[in-house]
Amino acid sequence: MVAEEPVRSSRGFADLFDLTGYTALVTGAARGLGRAIATALADAGAQIAALDVIDMSELESDISEAGGKCVSRTADLGGLSADSANDLVRWAEDATSNPATVLVNNAGVIRRGPALNTSVEDWNTVLAVNLTAPFLLSQAFAQYLRAKDSAGSIINMASVNSFQGGVEVPSYAASKHGILGVTRALANEWAPHGIRVNTIAPGYMSTDLTTAHRNDAERAAFMLKRIPMARWGTPEDLAGAAIFLASDASRYVTGTTISVDGGWLAR
């Protein structure tokens, strides 16, 4: 990824989105949105270094059957230290034999319940996985890129709860408002180094994270009525935004959010 190079018309528009030669470190890649993002980036040519606390063998075999390359490592990002973040970033290069230029901070958790009863344990868990781990991984990744004098792209996972308080998800809303602020702060600070930092803000997507939500018939019906596109999102709906933000197609885009929410925030 060379941030300053002019776009040559002979490359054609598709080449703008070509990730051949890239390695992307994707957290929470075993299932849901992270799995779809890892698959999309691999489809666009990137090698994937996948992290999750659970097994990722299905993701690995899907990507390799499609002709791509994916390596995986299990890690609990809830208790991440600066040293272990450094170790994970270096592992992405060692395991793929290719420098990493994309980091997707996707892993996330939610704890539902009224603020009056939110335990400090739940609060700390959500903040650790959704906010502290992305910061530490971004910091380690930027240090790694700086040492190589290399450009890179960081994609953080925001949410409609980065802009709205949500219903009985106080720690989640805090973490998602926080990731928006961190994204803007890092984008400002690292733009001179060619390191872009953006967020994708998914709306209400069909994944394990929202099962409880979708199983509550009354709530689900209310949500569907409020979504202008009148359907839940699918993990694959994020493919275009992820490839765009990872690739040279977004070379002048930093510190911003792409909402992929069927119009939810516009309502």
Ligand X SMILES: NC(=O)c1ccc[n+]([C@@H]2O[C@H](COP(=O)([O-])OP(=O)(O)OC[C@H]3O[C@@H](n4cnc5c(N)ncnc54)[C@H](O)[C@@H]3O)[C@@H](O)[C@H]2O)c1
Question: Counting contacts by CB under 6 A, is residue 41 touching ligand X?
Answer: no
| Residue 258 Cα to chain centre, angstroms | 12
DSSP state of 6: P
Would you say 146 or 177 has its CB closer to ligand X?
Answer: 177
* DSSP per-residue string spanning 201-232: EE-SB-SGGGHHHHHSHHHHHHHHHHSTT-S-
Instruction: By CB under 6 A, tell whether 107 contacts ligand X.
Output: yes
Concerning whether 252 is annotated as a catalytic residue, the answer is no
**What residues from 163 to 192 belong to the interface with ligand X (CB under 6 A)?**
none
- Total interface residues for ligand X by CB under 6 A: 26
| Residue 45: DSSP 8-state | T
Q: Say how far apart CA 150 and CA 32 lie, in whole Å.
A: 30
* Rounded least distance, CB 176 to ligand X, Å: 7
Binding to ligand X (CB under 6 A): which residues in 201-220?
202, 204-205, 207-210
Residue 149 Cβ vs ligand X, minimum distance, rounded to whole Å: 30
**Contact between 134 and ligand X per CB under 6 A:** no
User: For residue 127, what are the CA distances in angstroms to 87, 107, 154, 161, 255?
Assistant: 21, 12, 19, 14, 21
- Active site (catalytic) residues: 172
Summarize as ranges the residues that interact with ligand X (CB under 6 A). 28, 30-34, 52-54, 76-78, 106-109, 129, 157, 159, 202, 204-205, 207-210
